Protein backbone atom coordinates (compact mmCIF):
# COMPACT_ATOMS: atom_id res chain seq x y z
CA UNK A 1 0.00 0.00 0.00
CA UNK A 2 1.30 3.43 -0.98
CA UNK A 3 1.10 6.61 1.00
CA UNK A 4 -1.69 8.85 -0.31
CA UNK A 5 -2.27 11.41 2.36
CA UNK A 6 -5.76 12.88 1.93
CA UNK A 7 -6.02 16.65 1.51
CA UNK A 8 -7.43 17.20 5.01
CA UNK A 9 -4.26 15.82 6.63
CA UNK A 10 -1.72 17.82 4.59
CA UNK A 11 -1.27 20.41 7.33
CA UNK A 12 -0.78 17.89 10.15
CA UNK A 13 2.68 18.66 11.45
CA UNK A 14 4.93 18.23 14.51
CA UNK A 15 5.50 15.50 17.06
CA UNK A 16 3.50 15.42 20.29
CA UNK A 17 4.11 13.54 23.50
CA UNK A 18 1.37 13.12 26.10
CA UNK A 19 2.87 14.05 29.48
CA UNK A 20 1.19 11.70 31.93
CA UNK A 21 0.50 13.52 35.17
CA UNK A 22 -1.23 11.67 37.97
CA UNK A 23 -1.71 13.01 41.48
CA UNK A 24 0.96 15.61 40.96
CA UNK A 25 3.61 13.32 39.55
CA UNK A 26 4.75 12.91 35.99
CA UNK A 27 5.22 9.30 34.93
CA UNK A 28 8.88 8.96 33.88
CA UNK A 29 7.82 7.29 30.62
CA UNK A 30 6.76 10.77 29.47
CA UNK A 31 10.34 12.03 29.68
CA UNK A 32 11.57 8.90 27.91
CA UNK A 33 9.10 9.63 25.11
CA UNK A 34 10.16 13.27 24.88
CA UNK A 35 13.72 11.99 24.40
CA UNK A 36 12.58 9.69 21.61
CA UNK A 37 10.19 12.30 20.20
CA UNK A 38 13.09 14.76 19.95
CA UNK A 39 14.90 12.39 17.58
CA UNK A 40 11.80 11.92 15.42
CA UNK A 41 11.11 15.65 15.30
CA UNK A 42 14.71 16.43 14.34
CA UNK A 43 14.63 13.82 11.60
CA UNK A 44 11.44 15.37 10.23
CA UNK A 45 12.64 18.93 10.79
CA UNK A 46 9.58 19.78 12.88
CA UNK A 47 8.85 20.81 16.47
CA UNK A 48 8.43 18.65 19.52
CA UNK A 49 5.53 19.43 21.85
CA UNK A 50 4.52 18.13 25.26
CA UNK A 51 0.82 17.88 26.07
CA UNK A 52 0.14 18.58 29.74
CA UNK A 53 -3.30 18.12 31.30
CA UNK A 54 -3.91 18.68 34.96
CA UNK A 55 -5.58 20.77 37.64
CA UNK A 56 -4.61 24.42 38.15
CA UNK A 57 -1.67 23.70 40.47
CA UNK A 58 2.05 24.14 40.91
CA UNK A 59 2.58 20.48 40.03
CA UNK A 60 0.97 21.03 36.63
CA UNK A 61 3.26 23.99 35.98
CA UNK A 62 6.18 21.83 37.08
CA UNK A 63 5.19 19.30 34.42
CA UNK A 64 5.30 22.11 31.85
CA UNK A 65 8.79 23.07 32.96
CA UNK A 66 9.86 19.43 32.98
CA UNK A 67 8.69 19.11 29.39
CA UNK A 68 11.06 21.89 28.31
CA UNK A 69 13.80 20.34 30.38
CA UNK A 70 13.46 17.04 28.54
CA UNK A 71 13.41 18.57 25.09
CA UNK A 72 9.98 19.98 24.21
CA UNK A 73 9.95 23.17 22.11
CA UNK A 74 6.34 23.88 22.97
CA UNK A 75 3.78 22.80 25.53
CA UNK A 76 0.04 22.53 25.00
CA UNK A 77 -1.52 23.03 28.40
CA UNK A 78 -5.05 22.30 29.56
CA UNK A 79 -5.56 23.30 33.18
CA UNK A 80 -8.91 22.46 34.69
CA UNK A 81 -10.13 20.97 37.98
CA UNK A 82 -11.83 18.23 35.92
CA UNK A 83 -8.36 17.01 34.96
CA UNK A 84 -7.25 16.45 38.56
CA UNK A 85 -7.61 12.68 38.55
CA UNK A 86 -7.69 10.57 35.44
CA UNK A 87 -11.08 9.82 33.97
CA UNK A 88 -11.51 8.70 30.41
CA UNK A 89 -14.20 11.17 29.36
CA UNK A 90 -12.62 14.58 30.10
CA UNK A 91 -9.14 13.40 29.06
CA UNK A 92 -10.43 12.01 25.76
CA UNK A 93 -12.23 15.26 25.05
CA UNK A 94 -9.17 17.29 26.00
CA UNK A 95 -6.83 15.31 23.76
CA UNK A 96 -9.15 15.03 20.75
CA UNK A 97 -9.95 18.76 20.89
CA UNK A 98 -6.25 19.61 20.95
CA UNK A 99 -5.46 17.26 18.06
CA UNK A 100 -8.33 18.55 15.94
CA UNK A 101 -7.32 22.15 16.54
CA UNK A 102 -3.54 21.97 16.33
CA UNK A 103 -3.10 18.91 14.05
CA UNK A 104 0.04 16.99 14.99
CA UNK A 105 1.39 14.33 12.62
CA UNK A 106 2.62 12.04 15.41
CA UNK A 107 1.18 11.48 18.89
CA UNK A 108 3.00 9.29 21.42
CA UNK A 109 1.68 8.01 24.75
CA UNK A 110 3.13 5.72 27.42
CA UNK A 111 1.72 2.19 27.41
CA UNK A 112 0.65 2.53 31.04
CA UNK A 113 -2.83 1.75 32.37
CA UNK A 114 -3.70 5.41 31.88
CA UNK A 115 -2.03 5.72 28.48
CA UNK A 116 -3.64 2.60 27.08
CA UNK A 117 -7.07 3.54 28.41
CA UNK A 118 -6.79 6.99 26.84
CA UNK A 119 -5.09 6.09 23.56
CA UNK A 120 -7.80 3.59 22.58
CA UNK A 121 -10.63 6.10 22.87
CA UNK A 122 -8.67 8.97 21.35
CA UNK A 123 -7.70 6.92 18.28
CA UNK A 124 -11.27 5.69 17.86
CA UNK A 125 -12.71 9.19 18.16
CA UNK A 126 -10.18 10.52 15.65
CA UNK A 127 -10.62 7.40 13.45
CA UNK A 128 -6.88 7.00 13.06
CA UNK A 129 -4.37 4.17 13.48
CA UNK A 130 -2.82 3.26 16.82
CA UNK A 131 0.16 0.95 17.19
CA UNK A 132 0.37 -0.63 20.61
CA UNK A 133 3.30 -1.29 22.91
CA UNK A 134 6.07 -0.31 20.52
CA UNK A 135 9.70 -1.08 21.22
CA UNK A 136 11.22 0.94 18.41
CA UNK A 137 10.24 4.07 16.46
CA UNK A 138 11.76 5.45 13.29
CA UNK A 139 10.95 7.75 10.38
CA UNK A 140 11.01 6.03 6.99
CA UNK A 141 12.06 7.46 3.63
CA UNK A 142 8.58 8.81 2.98
CA UNK A 143 8.50 10.62 6.30
CA UNK A 144 6.07 8.16 7.89
CA UNK A 145 6.33 6.77 11.39
CA UNK A 146 7.57 3.17 11.36
CA UNK A 147 6.51 1.66 14.68
CA UNK A 148 7.93 -1.72 15.63
CA UNK A 149 6.34 -3.98 18.22
CA UNK A 150 6.65 -7.56 19.43
CA UNK A 151 3.81 -9.87 18.47
CA UNK A 152 2.73 -13.41 19.11
CA UNK A 153 4.06 -13.32 22.62
CA UNK A 154 7.30 -11.75 21.49
CA UNK A 155 8.43 -14.46 19.11
CA UNK A 156 8.32 -12.02 16.19
CA UNK A 157 8.55 -8.31 15.64
CA UNK A 158 6.45 -6.37 13.19
CA UNK A 159 6.69 -2.87 11.81
CA UNK A 160 3.42 -1.00 11.43
CA UNK A 161 2.63 2.21 9.53
CA UNK A 162 -0.39 4.48 9.55
CA UNK A 163 -0.04 5.69 5.99
CA UNK A 164 -3.17 7.60 5.12
CA UNK A 165 -4.43 8.89 8.44
CA UNK A 166 -3.22 11.49 10.94
CA UNK A 167 -2.04 11.68 13.59
CA UNK A 168 0.04 8.53 13.58
CA UNK A 169 -0.44 7.26 17.12
CA UNK A 170 1.65 4.86 19.15
CA UNK A 171 1.95 3.71 22.75
CA UNK A 172 5.38 2.79 24.09
CA UNK A 173 6.20 0.82 27.22
CA UNK A 174 7.98 2.41 30.14
CA UNK A 175 11.73 1.77 30.11
CA UNK A 176 11.94 0.75 26.47
CA UNK A 177 13.37 4.12 25.49
CA UNK A 178 16.37 5.58 27.30
CA UNK A 179 15.87 8.44 29.76
CA UNK A 180 17.24 11.59 28.08
CA UNK A 181 19.55 14.06 29.83
CA UNK A 182 17.60 16.87 31.48
CA UNK A 183 18.67 20.42 30.60
CA UNK A 184 20.13 22.35 33.53
CA UNK A 185 19.34 25.90 34.56
CA UNK A 186 16.62 28.09 33.14
CA UNK A 187 14.46 26.47 30.51
CA UNK A 188 11.67 27.91 28.46
CA UNK A 189 9.62 27.33 25.35
CA UNK A 190 6.33 28.07 23.69
CA UNK A 191 3.19 27.73 25.80
CA UNK A 192 -0.24 27.32 24.31
CA UNK A 193 -2.99 27.30 26.91
CA UNK A 194 -6.34 25.91 25.85
CA UNK A 195 -9.55 25.74 27.92
CA UNK A 196 -11.30 22.40 28.38
CA UNK A 197 -14.87 23.75 28.10
CA UNK A 198 -16.48 21.03 30.14
CA UNK A 199 -18.39 21.04 33.45
CA UNK A 200 -18.33 18.44 36.20
CA UNK A 201 -22.02 17.76 35.47
CA UNK A 202 -21.01 16.67 31.96
CA UNK A 203 -18.83 13.87 33.35
CA UNK A 204 -20.82 10.77 34.22
CA UNK A 205 -18.11 8.80 36.02
CA UNK A 206 -17.32 10.00 39.55
CA UNK A 207 -14.26 9.18 41.63
CA UNK A 208 -15.39 8.05 45.09
CA UNK A 209 -11.99 7.19 46.49
CA UNK A 210 -8.37 6.46 45.69
CA UNK A 211 -6.65 3.68 47.58
CA UNK A 212 -2.92 4.28 47.21
CA UNK A 213 -0.74 1.21 46.98
CA UNK A 214 1.28 0.33 50.01
CA UNK A 215 4.63 1.13 48.43
CA UNK A 216 6.83 -0.10 51.26
CA UNK A 217 6.82 -3.64 49.97
CA UNK A 218 6.09 -2.93 46.34
CA UNK A 219 8.39 -3.93 43.55
CA UNK A 220 9.99 -0.97 41.79
CA UNK A 221 11.46 -3.15 39.10
CA UNK A 222 11.10 -0.89 36.10
CA UNK A 223 13.34 1.83 37.49
CA UNK A 224 15.75 -0.26 39.59
CA UNK A 225 19.49 0.08 38.91
CA UNK A 226 20.21 -3.52 39.78
CA UNK A 227 17.83 -6.45 39.41
CA UNK A 228 18.38 -10.06 40.49
CA UNK A 229 15.95 -12.64 39.14
CA UNK A 230 15.35 -16.35 39.39
CA UNK A 231 13.69 -18.91 37.16
CA UNK A 232 12.60 -22.52 37.12
CA UNK A 233 16.23 -23.59 37.41
CA UNK A 234 15.93 -22.81 41.13
CA UNK A 235 14.02 -26.05 41.45
CA UNK A 236 11.83 -25.27 44.45
CA UNK A 237 10.26 -22.20 46.05
CA UNK A 238 12.53 -22.29 49.14
CA UNK A 239 15.55 -21.68 46.91
CA UNK A 240 14.17 -18.33 45.82
CA UNK A 241 15.55 -16.97 49.10
CA UNK A 242 19.01 -17.17 47.50
CA UNK A 243 17.88 -14.60 44.94
CA UNK A 244 16.46 -12.31 47.63
CA UNK A 245 19.68 -12.58 49.69
CA UNK A 246 21.81 -11.45 46.77
CA UNK A 247 19.36 -8.65 45.98
CA UNK A 248 19.51 -7.46 49.56
CA UNK A 249 23.31 -7.23 49.60
CA UNK A 250 23.21 -5.28 46.33
CA UNK A 251 20.36 -3.02 47.39
CA UNK A 252 18.65 -4.42 44.33
CA UNK A 253 15.09 -5.32 43.37
CA UNK A 254 14.27 -8.97 42.80
CA UNK A 255 12.02 -10.56 40.22
CA UNK A 256 11.50 -13.71 38.23
CA UNK A 257 10.33 -15.45 35.10
CA UNK A 258 6.65 -16.06 34.44
CA UNK A 259 6.43 -19.66 35.63
CA UNK A 260 7.41 -18.50 39.13
CA UNK A 261 4.45 -16.15 39.17
CA UNK A 262 2.16 -18.84 37.86
CA UNK A 263 3.35 -21.21 40.58
CA UNK A 264 2.87 -18.53 43.21
CA UNK A 265 6.53 -18.31 44.25
CA UNK A 266 6.54 -14.55 43.69
CA UNK A 267 3.93 -11.79 43.22
CA UNK A 268 2.79 -10.95 39.72
CA UNK A 269 4.26 -7.44 39.90
CA UNK A 270 7.67 -9.08 40.03
CA UNK A 271 7.36 -10.85 36.69
CA UNK A 272 9.92 -9.71 34.15
CA UNK A 273 9.29 -9.88 30.42
CA UNK A 274 6.77 -9.40 27.66
CA UNK A 275 3.72 -9.83 29.87
CA UNK A 276 5.44 -8.49 32.98
CA UNK A 277 7.80 -5.58 33.57
CA UNK A 278 10.33 -4.17 31.14
CA UNK A 279 13.51 -3.37 33.04
CA UNK A 280 16.55 -1.31 32.17
CA UNK A 281 19.01 -1.75 35.03
CA UNK A 282 22.75 -1.22 34.99
CA UNK A 283 23.17 -4.83 36.09
CA UNK A 284 20.78 -7.74 35.63
CA UNK A 285 21.59 -11.10 37.19
CA UNK A 286 19.41 -13.98 35.94
CA UNK A 287 19.75 -17.28 37.79
CA UNK A 288 18.18 -20.44 36.40
CA UNK A 289 16.36 -18.57 33.64
CA UNK A 290 16.52 -20.09 30.17
CA UNK A 291 16.00 -16.80 28.35
CA UNK A 292 12.83 -17.47 26.36
CA UNK A 293 12.02 -14.72 23.87
CA UNK A 294 9.20 -13.42 26.08
CA UNK A 295 11.69 -12.96 28.87
CA UNK A 296 14.34 -11.51 26.62
CA UNK A 297 12.22 -8.63 25.30
CA UNK A 298 11.80 -7.37 28.85
CA UNK A 299 15.49 -7.23 29.73
CA UNK A 300 17.34 -6.27 26.58
CA UNK A 301 17.72 -2.68 27.72
CA UNK A 302 19.98 -3.74 30.63
CA UNK A 303 23.55 -2.44 30.43
CA UNK A 304 25.06 -5.70 31.66
CA UNK A 305 23.43 -9.11 31.91
CA UNK A 306 24.99 -11.91 33.94
CA UNK A 307 23.45 -15.33 33.40
CA UNK A 308 23.84 -18.13 35.91
CA UNK A 309 22.91 -21.39 34.28
CA UNK A 310 24.03 -25.02 34.23
CA UNK A 311 23.48 -25.16 30.49
CA UNK A 312 26.11 -23.35 28.39
CA UNK A 313 23.74 -23.54 25.43
CA UNK A 314 20.68 -22.01 27.08
CA UNK A 315 19.07 -19.32 24.87
CA UNK A 316 20.00 -16.68 27.46
CA UNK A 317 23.62 -17.02 26.32
CA UNK A 318 22.56 -15.31 23.08
CA UNK A 319 21.85 -12.02 24.83
CA UNK A 320 23.64 -12.12 28.19
CA UNK A 321 27.08 -10.49 28.32
CA UNK A 322 28.63 -12.62 31.04
CA UNK A 323 27.87 -16.12 32.19
CA UNK A 324 28.63 -18.31 35.13
CA UNK A 325 28.16 -21.88 34.01
CA UNK A 326 27.19 -23.61 37.20
CA UNK A 327 24.60 -24.54 39.78
CA UNK A 328 22.63 -21.49 40.95
CA UNK A 329 22.22 -23.05 44.40
CA UNK A 330 25.96 -22.79 45.08
CA UNK A 331 26.78 -19.80 42.83
CA UNK A 332 24.16 -17.46 44.31
CA UNK A 333 25.37 -17.78 47.92
CA UNK A 334 28.98 -17.45 46.76
CA UNK A 335 28.12 -14.25 44.85
CA UNK A 336 26.20 -12.89 47.83
CA UNK A 337 29.16 -13.50 50.10
CA UNK A 338 31.71 -12.13 47.66
CA UNK A 339 29.68 -8.95 47.01
CA UNK A 340 29.10 -8.49 50.74
CA UNK A 341 32.84 -8.65 51.44
CA UNK A 342 33.84 -6.46 48.54
CA UNK A 343 31.28 -3.78 49.31
CA UNK A 344 31.97 -3.68 53.05
CA UNK A 345 35.75 -3.54 52.53
CA UNK A 346 35.38 -0.67 50.11
CA UNK A 347 32.90 1.09 52.31
CA UNK A 348 35.43 1.09 55.13
CA UNK A 349 38.12 2.22 52.72
CA UNK A 350 35.88 4.94 51.28
Partner 1 sequence: MHIVVCIKQVPDSAQIRVHPVTNTIMRQGVPTIINPYDLFSLEEALRLRDAFGGKVTVLTMGPPMAEDSLRKALGIGADDAVLLTDRFFAGSDTLATSFALATAIQKIMETEPVDMVFAGKQTIDGDTAQVGPGICCRLGMQQLTYVQKVESVDPAKREIVVHRRSEGGVQVLKTSLPCMITMLEGTNQIRYGTMDDMFRAARADVRVWSAAAAGIEDMTRCGLRGSPTVVKKVFAPKARAQKARPVDGEGAEALAAAAIEAIFASQPKLESDLLKQSAGY
Ligand X SMILES: Cc1cc2nc3c(=O)[nH]c(=O)nc-3n(C[C@H](O)[C@H](O)[C@H](O)COP(=O)(O)OP(=O)(O)OC[C@H]3O[C@@H](n4cnc5c(N)ncnc54)[C@H](O)[C@@H]3O)c2cc1C
- Under the binding rule (CB under 8 A), the answer on residue 226 touching partner 1 is yes
In the set 5, 327, 333, 339, which binds ligand X (CB under 6 A)?
A: 327
Nearer to ligand X, 60 or 168 (CB): 168
Site string for partner 1, 89-128 (x = CB under 8 A): x--x-------------------xxx-xx-xxx-xxx-xx
From the list 51-59, 82-90, 129-137, 339-347, the region that binds ligand X by CB under 6 A is 129-137
* Residue 206 engages partner 1 in binding (rule: CB under 8 A): yes
Dihedral sign from CA coordinates of 154, 127, 14, 139: positive
Could you say which of 14, 166, 175, 258 contacts ligand X (CB under 6 A)? 258
The strand pairing partners of 79, in sequence order, are 54
Stretch of residues binding ligand X (CB under 6 A), selected from 35-43, 56-64, 65-73, 294-302: 294-302
Phi-psi region of 251 (alpha: psi -120 to 50; beta: other; left: phi over 0): left
Any residues with CB less than 8 A from the CB of 290 and at least 6 apart, and which?
Answer: 231, 232, 233, 257, 309, 311, 314, 315, 316
Residues 243-262 that bind partner 1 (CB under 8 A): 248-252
Which residue of 204, 216, 217, 236 would you call a contact of partner 1, by CB under 8 A? 204
Q: What element of type H or E holds 346?
A: helix 328-349
| List of residues 6+ apart from 15 with CB closer than 8 A | 37, 40, 41, 44, 46, 47, 48, 49, 104, 105, 106, 108
Q: Is 174 in the site for ligand X (CB under 6 A)?
A: no
CB of 290 to ligand X, least distance (A): 3
Q: Which of 130, 108, 136, 96 is nearest to 33 (CA)?
A: 108
Instruction: Select 152 or 241, whichever has its Cβ closest to partner 1.
Output: 152
Instruction: Identify the residue among 119, 227, 308, 335 touching ligand X (CB under 6 A).
Output: 308
- Contact between 196 and 94 under an 8 Å Cβ cutoff? The reply is yes
Query: Which of 128, 75, 121, 84 minimizes the C-alpha distance to 102?
Result: 75
With CB under 6 A as the contact rule, the residue among 37, 115, 180, 231 that binds ligand X is 231
- Between 124 and 197, CB nearer to partner 1: 124
Is 289 among the residues that bind ligand X (CB under 6 A)? yes
Least separation in angstroms between residue 146's CB and ligand X is: 12
Cβ closest to ligand X, residue 67 vs residue 257:
257
Tell me the DSSP string of 45-114. T--EEEEEEE-SSHHHHHHHHHHHHTT-SEEEEEE-GGGSS--HHHHHHHHHHHHHHH--SEEEEE-SHH
For binding to ligand X (CB under 6 A), which residues are involved?
A: 130-132, 149, 151, 153, 158, 160, 231-233, 257-259, 271-276, 288-290, 292, 294-295, 298, 308-311, 314, 327-329
Amino acid sequence: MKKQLPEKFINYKHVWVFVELERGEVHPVSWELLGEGRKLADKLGVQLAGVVMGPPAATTRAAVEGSYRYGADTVYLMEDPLLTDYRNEPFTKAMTDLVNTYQPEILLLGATTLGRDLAGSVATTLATGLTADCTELAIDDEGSLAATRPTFGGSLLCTIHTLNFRPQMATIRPRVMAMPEAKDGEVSGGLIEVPLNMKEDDVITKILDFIADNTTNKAQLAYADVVVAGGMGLGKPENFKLVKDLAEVLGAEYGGSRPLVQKGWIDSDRQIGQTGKTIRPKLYIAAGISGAIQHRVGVEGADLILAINTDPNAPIMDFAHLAIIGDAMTILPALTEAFRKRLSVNRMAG
